[in-house]
Amino acid sequence: MDTAKVVKALAALAQEHRLAAFRLLVQAGPDGLAAGALAEALGIKPSALSFHITQLAYAGLVTQRRSGRWVIYAADYGVMDQVMGFLTENCCAGAACAPAGTCTAETSSERND
């Protein structure tokens, strides 16, 4: 994935409602969520949701499809994987990364003791 596309994706996610919408769509899985259900879950008006979804779609992070009279939105996992891959491409200076949960940095509770 090229840098310009990653910047566009990260810019789209750099807003509270868009980030929350994308996270809900990721949790919903490939079936996605109807626009009304997504707006309700976020506590925003459908017109505001439309604005935010447009930004996410422009960045390639969400897809939409019709199911009868409903518009269903879903996360585009391929693009999400590409963005994550780009961000972690040079992780750990080329060495194998440590398994999850084995970080050696002290936790905030350890720093406060």
Kindly list the structural domains of the chain, giving each domain's residue range(s) and its CATH number in brackets, ordered by start.
Answer: 3-90 (1.10.10.10)
pLDDT at 107: 40
Positions in the chain short of pLDDT 70 = 94, 96-113
pLDDT digits (tens, 9 = 90+) for 57-81: 999 999 999 999 999 999 999 999 9
pLDDT at 38: 97
Note the pTM of the prediction, 2 decimals: 0.80
Distance CA 21, CA 37 (A): 11
Looking from the CA of 106 toward its CB, the CA atoms found within 13 Å total: 6
**Contacting residues for 66 by C-beta, under 8 A, at least 6 apart:** 72
